[in-house]
A and B are shown apart, each in its own frame.
Chain A
Amino acid sequence: MRWCEAPGAWIGLEVLQNYGCRMISGLWLTIELVLISFTLGLVIGLALALLRLNGPRPLAMLITGYMTFFRGTPLLGQLFLIYYGLGSFRLFWQDVGLWWLFREPYYCCLLAFTANTAAYQAEIFRGAFLALPRGQTEAAEALGLNRIATYWTVLLPQAMITALRPLGNELIVMIKASALASLVTLFDLMGATKLAFARSFDLNIYLVAALLYLGLVEIIRRIWDAMERRLTRHLVLH
């Protein structure tokens, strides 16, 4: 017996014993999808927020449009638009050498998730920067710091305190939203669960999946609490 079959055998749930290994690899795929897209989204989101606040007007408007689109439409639709929609221009992608990306549901998922979370994270960062008192920028200027140093050493650390909570919420939203990957043939945790249910008709497997998702969310919540304590250790909050 492999180790991933053990929990099912131990609690005497046949469907979990039979599909335990698939569930574990599904869980891993879920974590992988979320971690990659969230991290990419963090970098892109921060860049978008800074460009929207400081960039030239046409670029700022373009970014506003991007953010409105991705925050105003469902992720499911964005995923289908990329996987089926963009994926239908096969000849074009082959010409530009990007067919490998639009052919694979895995990459389409990563693309859709990243584009979506980048828009939400950009809004979080924008709000956090706008909430900072103007005096912070002026003081940095008076000290002779250039723009990059102002952002990196003065504004960003303070903005992160405001942004941390909503970023954690966004990560949790992404964990839950990653279940949509199962709708474009991927066997993430949700996909593995659906497969197990379709073959066994045992509803308990859905409850197992719910517990696994809850566990993931709980872990994130604890990590975030620890990070918040560290970021605010110079403030008297507790």
Chain B
Amino acid sequence: MDKYLTLLSFGPEGWGDELLSGALVTISVALATLPFGLALGLGVALAKRSDNRLLRAVGTAYTTIFRGVPELLTLYIIYFGVQVLVQALWKGLGLPGTIELSPFVSGVVALGIVLGAFSAEVWLGALNAVHKGQREAAAALGLSKAQTFRLVVLPQVFRVALPGLGNNWMVLLKETSLVSVITLQDTMFIATRANVTTKEPFLFFGVAMLIYLFFSVISATGLSRIEARTNRAYAPAGGRRP
């Protein structure tokens, strides 16, 4: 037992501090991906609703491809493929030196693209749930298209989309474990390294799982609170307050 406590302690002999920094990387990747992926998803959802046929086709192709291809494959394609493209572009422009996409940037871009595809479907459903009369009323009040979207549609969309987006977040949190394969030092990466050094795989992968479980449970609790808050005006009459 003492041996395991030493292995998990903070300090030169223990892996506690490394695991903590891994956990921080995990949560940073997820938090950095979230706004990027959600904004991308909203854009794709709007493209899928647009009157322009080309935009609609692009939106549909985007969600079909990135929801159907394994996240691991997307990650490899971004990390290796886009790397080559970016370097070729850099050279083509005659810029000095070389450029390299860091694992962090590649990871955030790949996960963001996938999150964009999945959240687009959630946004789309929520956009469709906003009653047409809302837009008409906004137009009657003389609001511009942009104002209507920002002040009338989006707040209502957000409430409907929240449970779905919450799900997207939970999936994203677990998907961040994939960035360990492109050498980003997240929780899984640290656990793998600790295992190589100490030959205690069960201990370290077990602790890594508990870290993810901790994030998942915290997120689930937080999300249900936010949901209750956004729905507080909609509680059924006489029903129990959430």
Name A residues whose Cβ lies closer than 8 Å to a Cβ of B: 68-69, 71-78, 80-81, 84-89, 172, 175-180, 182-183, 190, 193-194, 197, 203, 206-207, 209-210, 213-214, 217-218
A175 CB to nearest chain B CB (Å) = 8
**Residues of B with C-beta under 8 A to A75:** 174
Cβ-defined contact, A77 with B80, below 8 A? no
Q: Could you tell me how many residues of chain B have their Cβ less than 8 Å away from some Cβ of chain A?
A: 38
A183→B216 CA distance, assembly (Å): 24
Among B193-236, those with CB < 8 Å from A are 195, 199-202, 205-206, 208-209, 212-213, 216-217, 220
Stretch at the interface among B41-49, B68-76, B131-139: B68-76
**Residues of B with C-beta under 8 A to A89:** 202
**Residues of B with C-beta under 8 A to A176:** 68-71
A148 CB to nearest chain B CB (Å) = 34
A213→B220 CA distance, assembly (Å): 31
A104 CB to nearest chain B CB (Å) = 16
Closest 7 CB pairs of A and B: A72-B216, A84-B201, A85-B202, A74-B177, A179-B70, A217-B68, A74-B174
A216→B195 CA distance, assembly (Å): 35
A224→B70 CA distance, assembly (Å): 20
Task: Enumerate 23 A-B pairs (CB-CB under 8 Å) in ascending A order.
Answer: A68-B213, A72-B212, A72-B217, A76-B177, A76-B180, A77-B205, A78-B209, A80-B191, A80-B201, A81-B201, A81-B202, A84-B202, A85-B202, A85-B205, A175-B70, A190-B70, A190-B73, A197-B80, A206-B80, A209-B73, A210-B77, A214-B68, A217-B67
**Residues of A with C-beta under 8 A to B153:** none
A69→B80 CA distance, assembly (Å): 33
Cβ-defined contact, A85 with B199, below 8 A? no
Cβ-defined contact, B70 with A203, below 8 A? no
**Residues of B with C-beta under 8 A to A214:** 64-65, 68-69
Residue among B70, B81, B188 with the most chain A CB within 10 A? B70
**Residues of B with C-beta under 8 A to A182:** 72
